[in-house]
Chain A
Amino acid sequence: MTLRKAVLLGASIAAAGLALASTAQAQNEQFIPGLIYRTGAYAPNGIPFANGVADYYALVNERDGGINGVKIVYEECDTGYATDRGVECYERLKNKGPTGAAYVNPLSTGITFALTEKAPIDKIPVISMGYGRSESRDGSVFQWNFPLLGTYWSAADIIMQHIALKEGGFDKLKGKKIVLVYHDSPYGKEPIALLEQRAKMHGFTFTPMPVTHPGVEQKATWLQIRQNRPDYVLLWGWGVMNSTSIKEAAAVGFPRDKMFGVWWSGAEPDVRPAEGGAKGYHAAMLQHGAGQFGVHADLKKYLYDKGKGSAKWDEVGEVLYNRGLVNAMLGVEAIRKAQTKFGKKPLTGEQVRWGIENLELSAARLKELGFDGMLQPLKVTCSDHEGTRAGRIQQWDGAKWVVVSDWYQSDDTVLKPMVNAAAKKYADEKKLTVRDCSKES
């Protein structure tokens, strides 16, 4: 083939491809982007989450024919947990569908920080369920951010409450040594402020120990822990870092039942690689745990029995899969709420933002959706973008996660002033105008 022919052929293939891609889109569709990762160091945790999200959207389409008749169109983009790649994915997907992206789930604290700057300009809300910046729960400053179900400050507070309860009260923590092994990124650094505050209040020594991305090399950190002999180790890891930490703890003989992971360090892929070494390890729960509930029966009936599920059936009901379901459900319910005000049609990000801010899920509604037993009722308001601050602690018994505590509520007398101060600082730095939440219904 001559060069000219090859060029011509290439050009015509490209033209045909572009023509295919730009075929007319149906109008009654709600577009939702999915920033996920199925590759890279964080894939073991990213995949089950992504499967859960995809399955729930598919279920809503299959079972209900969409949200009040508006079909969900969902498109994934692999970020690899890298911030610049995540921003690229967001820019690529934000204008798709008839009304653009309804909302975005960054699934990375670093990407959440970057999108926080873009959200008010693009008018697309950011749902960072159980992650993101802790002060963004203050909706008067962070209008477009929704760290639903709990921030890292809530998570750290719940773990500290559990430890205090085991020790017999916060006053018993005096003189104890607590170490935080954290992923050296915005994600891992988030809880430090709260833990420092608690350390000041109760007189324990708090030592943060960073682990660099991706976290497979932690020998030095755990050697230090063996020398320091802390009373408790908190773990803020993700992906392979979690299982490595647990294995290293076993190697240096740090008792696993004195180790507490955040809710991103408490899933099956974190403990299984450590095999026997993980037995006794604790982790916080973002409300839900593992297991199958009402919604899973529907998933089986409408998706998995027809071979349409994205995971294997025995992975359905794992912690991160369930978290994907919860994440997608909250988004869908927010759109449903927004439809009550703006009509049953595809909505813009700005309209969906109203839906999230006024989202309220009662116990009865959760039961209807098949999420009873996984979530507690929640109510989002202008001043509280978190919705609820409840959590429990679970323990790995060597084969499965067992819930070992009652419900805790993070202590707002500690958190609220910190949130307000941090949010105010952000608003001042960025010279933002702050909304008055008391004037909004």
Chain B
Amino acid sequence: MLAVIVAAFLAVPMVASPYLYTEILIPFLILSLAAIGLNILVGYCGQVSLGTGGFMAVGAYAAYNLWLRVPELNNLIVVFLFGGLMAAAVGILFGIPSLRIKGFYLAVATLASQFFLDWLFARVKWLTNYTPSGSVAVGKLEVFGWHVDTPADRYLLILGIVVVGTLVAKNLVRGHIGRSWMAVRDMDIAAEIIGFRPLRTKLTAFAVSSFFIGVAGAMWAFLRLGAWEPLAFDINRSFQILFMVIIGGLGSLVGSFMGAAFIVLMPILLNQLPGWFGIRMSTALLSHLEFMVFGAMIVFFLIVEPHGLARLWAVAKEKLRLWPFPH
């Protein structure tokens, strides 16, 4: 694990090209953090949410407004934390129904939050600083005087935040809070009887989850897009991140990374693969092939291992440990 982190901080900057940074590593890392956030809620606490895109938007717009209106706090760490905290607050608000409703009904309730937040950012002009088209932009980003302009700088900043976030998440799920989440997930009545308060447990899961998602949303807006409109956080984003969690593996932090890698990178890879082999085909055929193969792969992985890529990874590790002499 440590080796991977060291490699990501030191080895990657030596070999990576701007394309690798901006289109592969940065989206992968940011969406991994969002997937970790959602995994805390869905995988660890068992509360289905379809409002991820909306919470990312809260993070992004809260961060934008702080950045715009309080220039004294023009420090990305502060700005992102604020985005995360606002998202956590909104997450708690929309988490309240989870006390009464479960499963599909909760999914529908969070879906409502997605549409409400979409509507809010598209219609309340103050939030987008009265721009004619509702698209906002940021520039001149810095962290404690360090200007994050080049893709490499952005990558390092994001990597730092994601590593810290993952460590925090890892410790949370292993500790008292994480155990209470899992108790509620496995059987909420039993959890209540052995002394976990469902209100507090579920709302902390919503808060922590939304915090991570909000920070990811702010990073997506500031460091990946630079200029964005509410459309960047629409319902498709929610589904995308939910699919990452499902394909990666519910209740697994490594799975969040794997799911993000699969969903972010596979379409791009499929789109470029024929070109690398020198196969020339029309742009339309290429796009259609991409959709078909990607869809087939999702179905394939879900059939082969319904518990996600993380489980597949664990099984592979088991096998390799014994390989080449299984018995």
Look across to chain B and name the residue whose beta carbon is closest to the beta carbon of A77.
Answer: B283
Partner among A14, A39, A114 whose Cβ is within 8 Å of the Cβ of B227: A114
| Chain B residues, Cβ within 8 Å of A92 | 19, 23, 272
Residues of A within 8 A of B286 (CB): 78
The yes or no answer to A381 lying at the interface (CB within 8 A) is no
How far is B277's CA from A431's CA once the two chains are assembled, in angstroms? 45
Select from chain B the residue with minimum beta-carbon distance to A14.
Answer: B276
Query: How many residues on chain B are close to A (CB under 8 Å)?
Result: 39
Report the bound CA distance from A39 to B231 in whole Å: 19
* Residues on A with beta carbons closer than 8 Å to the beta carbon of B133: 109, 113, 133, 186-187, 189-190
- Of the listed residues B133, B231, B284, B288, the one surrounded by the most CB atoms of chain A closer than 10 A to its CB is B133
Q: Which of B140, B226, B268 contacts A118 (CB 8 A)?
A: B226
**A213-B283 CB under 8 A given contacts A92-B272, A134-B132, A429-B129:** no
Question: Does A78 contact B284, Cβ atoms closer than 8 Å?
Answer: yes
Query: Which residues of chain B come closer than 8 Å to A16, judged between CB atoms?
Result: 277
Q: Contacts A113-B137, A113-B227 known; A189 to B278 CB distance under 8 Å?
A: no
A417 cross-chain contacts in B, Cβ below 8 A: none
Residue of A13, A113, A117, A422 near B229 (CB, 8 A) is A113
Contact yes or no, B283 A192, CB < 8 A: no
Within 8 A of B (CB), among A161-200: 184-187, 189-190, 192-193
Partner of B287, one of A18, A39, A135: A39
Closest to A120 in B: B139
**Chain A CB within 8 A of B135 CB:** yes
Inter-chain contacts of A39 with B (CB < 8 A): 284, 287-288, 291
Contacting pair A429 B23 (CB below 8 A): no
Give chain B residues whose Cβ lies under 8 Å from the Cβ of A84: 27, 225, 232
| Nearest-Cβ distance from residue A440 to partner chain B, whole angstroms | 23
B122 within 8 A of A: yes
Q: Is the CB–CB distance between B277 and A17 below 8 Å?
A: yes
| Shortest Cβ gap from B18 to chain A (Å) | 7
The answer, yes or no, to whether B166 is at the interface (CB within 8 Å) is: no
Could you say which residues of chain B place their CB within 8 Å of the CB of A43?
284
Cα distance, A16 to B111, chains bound together (Å): 47
Closest residue of A by beta carbon distance from B132? A193
User: Which chain B residues lie closer than 8 Å to A109 at the CB level?
Assistant: 133
Q: Contact: B23 with A38, CB < 8 Å?
A: no
In the complex, whether B143 has a CB less than 8 A from a CB of chain A is no
A47, A114, A430: which has the most chain B beta carbons within 10 Å? Answer: A114
Q: Is the CB of A20 within 8 A of B68?
A: no
B283 touches A78 (CB 8 A): yes
Contact A91 B283 (CB under 8 A): no
Q: Is the CB of B132 within 8 A of A88?
A: no
Q: Known: A38-B282, A39-B287, A91-B22. Is A116-B137 also a contact (CB below 8 A)?
A: yes
Report the interface size for chain A: residues with CB under 8 A from the other chain. 52
Nearest neighbor of B220 in chain A, beta-carbon distance: A84
Partner pick for B232 among A83, A118, A189, A213, CB 8 A cutoff:
A83
- B165: chain A residues at CB < 8 Å are none
A21: which B residues are within 8 A, CB to CB? 275-278
Interface residues of A in 8-60 (CB under 8 A from B): 13-14, 16-18, 20-21, 36, 38-40, 43, 47, 50
Give the distance in Å from the alpha carbon of A92 to the alpha carbon of B27 in the complex.
14
Given A80-B287, A92-B19, A186-B135, do A117 and B276 touch, yes or no (CB 8 Å)? no
Of residues 124 through 157 on chain A, the ones whose CB sits less than 8 Å from some CB of chain B are 133-135
Contact A431 B139 (CB under 8 A): yes
- Is B306 at the interface (CB under 8 A from chain A)? no
CA distance in complex: A396, B287 (Å): 33
Report the separation of the CA atoms of residues A80 and B294 in the bound assembly, to the nearest whole angstrom.
Answer: 16
- Name the residue among A13, A21, A91, A187 with the largest chain B CB count within 10 angstroms: A91
Distance between Cα atoms of A83 and B228 in the complex (Å): 9
Asked if B305 lies at the interface with its beta carbon under 8 angstroms from chain A, I say no
Query: Is A113 within 8 A of B135, CB to CB?
Result: yes
What is the CA–CA distance of A39 and B138 in the complex, to the nearest angstrom?
A: 31
- Interface mask (A50-86 → B, CB under 8 Å = 1, otherwise 0): 1000000000000000000000000011101001100
6 chain-A/chain-B pairs, Cβ below 8 angstroms = A39-B291, A84-B225, A113-B137, A192-B132, A426-B137, A430-B139
14 other A-B residue contacts (CB within 8 Å) besides A20-B278, A21-B275, A113-B133: A38-B282, A39-B284, A80-B287, A83-B228, A91-B18, A91-B23, A92-B23, A114-B227, A116-B137, A121-B149, A186-B133, A186-B231, A430-B138, A431-B139
Please name the 5 residue pairs, one residue from A and one from B, whose CB atoms are nearest each other, closest first: A38-B284, A17-B277, A117-B226, A186-B133, A20-B278
